[in-house]
Structure 1
């Protein structure tokens, strides 16, 4: 019925053994069951294939077929996704969901125009600032070396103009950057800070909902249409 077997190679930053990784494993099992074993999902977790921009590039040249990525990787394809990581732009979860519901059809269409099928998109939760020393307000971060995504030049420039000291790094280098003092503050979800083992170094959290973190699962249209 389905012809020859299809192995879908998927990359993600989600650390192995986390709930996010487990969700992808379950999805792969469902694909295999629904196609009588004809479609199999091979997952590369923990950023072993590089940062999210690397994943998008590898999808474009056919080295992998799918990715579980956050707003950062999605913005590399469709810049409109950047609306979701504007700092302090959302009041609560209902606010986020209202904007997501309104933008979803347009985001889905623009991804397809770029050759990607959106399989899943959801709000993972709030991002907070984590620092190696105590911070009580965003102003306290201005003397810190803060992580920004490598390749995201626009946001690095925004932080510079606001008086911050951004240090562009691949997300796969965050832990080593903290260990060596290259950076001393980062914005992420508490659960991800725990999974990434960064919480042991950045053990001070600013109790302020800095922004939201979206995550989506995409697959290239060529593979989807097979």
Structure 2
């Protein structure tokens, strides 16, 4: 009898032992819109796989910055991460395609480009041992600071922060004659308080979420770049899932990414409206100055394409999609 009971218990526990745990790290804080959607997708995965796949998140940067998360993925301590294009570009240079300077001027242009480029990027990630479960827009980054930036003279001498590992932003600002100050994002709030930095490039919702808006009084009305976040999974972890469970995971996180795109656009519009109510002014650049910034961006893109840092085929596909007539 005892042997039969043991066999019965083992048969009941076998499905639990076979369950796959996907540990995914992100800088997104718990309670944010990102985390709400990610957790909703995780719940859908657990239900759709009948508990065979469980997704556990480590939000708020508790696992370290993007570079640390990538290292932990290689070591098998994590199976995935929500990562920036700048860090992922070290593994797959085309990851930074959406964030090239002045490539887009509207959310509609981004949507048309993504319909073509998302599948191309997914294949590129797969070739490098990563499974792209989703990519979601964070929004357009703008120059924001303590003074208006309308002319070239206004930009002279600004103390501009850029993310420490964002080589594309650094090159763009240098091409425009500005010497940026690369810092980890966690140091920016204090740097704004002390005056070490007086200008930032960020999305409106990002500036509010990070509480930078109290030190920002002006925004230049020229979208610099489109910021995205990628949800990627180590391919070894992906291949441990059955084809049926892979389909559930892919469907859940793709849907979460689409919901996030809509949410993030509303959040940025709301954040900008809130900052305006608090006295922030939005200033149009002089036409010559706007043209100068765009020329600096085009110079950077051309050099990256010529050197192979960005795929000419991917860049051409994006530009063709952006130039296509808007669908009725």
1:29 aligns with 2:38: no
The farther-off stretch of 68-77 and 207-216 is 68-77
Rate the CA distance shift 1:155–1:188 in 2: closer, same or farther, 3 A: closer
* 1:164-220 Cα distance to aligned partner (Å, 9 max, x none): 121112223332333343322221211121112222223432232222122221111
Rate the CA distance shift 1:68–1:52 in 2: closer, same or farther, 3 A: same
Instruction: Provide the secondary structure at the position in 1 that maps to 2:229.
Output: strand
Instruction: Provide the secondary structure at the position in 1 that maps to 2:188.
Output: helix
Q: Which has the higher strand share?
A: 1
Q: Does structure 2 retain, via aligned residues, the 8 Å contact 1:116–1:220? A: yes
Provide TM-score, normalisation by structure 1.
Answer: 0.87
Match of 1:135 in 2: 148
Runs of 4+ in 1 over 6 A off after TM superposition: none
Match of 2:228 in 1: 214
Which structure 2 segments of 5+ residues have no match? 1-14, 241-328
Counterpart Cα distance in 2 of 1:203 and 1:75: 33
Query: What is the CA distance between 1:2 and its match in structure 2?
Result: 7.5
2:161 pairs with 137, 147, 152, which one? 147
1:122 pairs with 136, 148, 173, which one? 136
Query: What is the CA distance between 1:80 and its match in structure 2?
Result: 1.4
Counterpart Cα distance in 1 of 2:69 and 2:135: 17
1:55 pairs with 69, 73, 87, which one? 69
* 1:21-73 Cα distance to aligned partner (Å, 9 max, x none): 11111111112222223322222222222322332232222221111123223
Match of 1:7 in 2: 21
Rate the CA distance shift 1:168–1:58 in 2: closer, same or farther, 3 A: farther
The farther-off stretch of 59-68 and 203-212 is 203-212
Q: Does structure 1 retain, via aligned residues, the 8 Å contact 2:135–2:229? A: yes
Q: Is the radius of gyration larger for structure 1 or structure 2?
A: 2
Rate the CA distance shift 1:109–1:2 in 2: closer, same or farther, 3 A: farther
1:168 pairs with 157, 163, 182, which one? 182
Rate the CA distance shift 1:135–1:171 in 2: closer, same or farther, 3 A: same
Counterpart Cα distance in 2 of 1:63 and 1:175: 31
Q: Which has the higher helix share?
A: 2
The farther-off stretch of 112-121 and 176-185 is 176-185
* 1:82-121 Cα distance to aligned partner (Å, 9 max, x none): 2322222213223222322222222111101111101112
- Root-mean-square deviation over aligned CA pairs: 2.3
Counterpart Cα distance in 1 of 2:32 and 2:93: 28
Provide TM-score, normalisation by structure 2.
Answer: 0.62
Query: What is the CA distance between 1:138 and its match in structure 2?
Result: 7.0
Counterpart Cα distance in 2 of 1:138 and 1:119: 42
Q: Does structure 1 retain, via aligned residues, the 8 Å contact 2:86–2:165? A: no
How many residues are aligned here?
225
1:186 pairs with 200, 217, 224, which one? 200
Q: Does structure 2 retain, via aligned residues, the 8 Å contact 1:11–1:66? A: yes
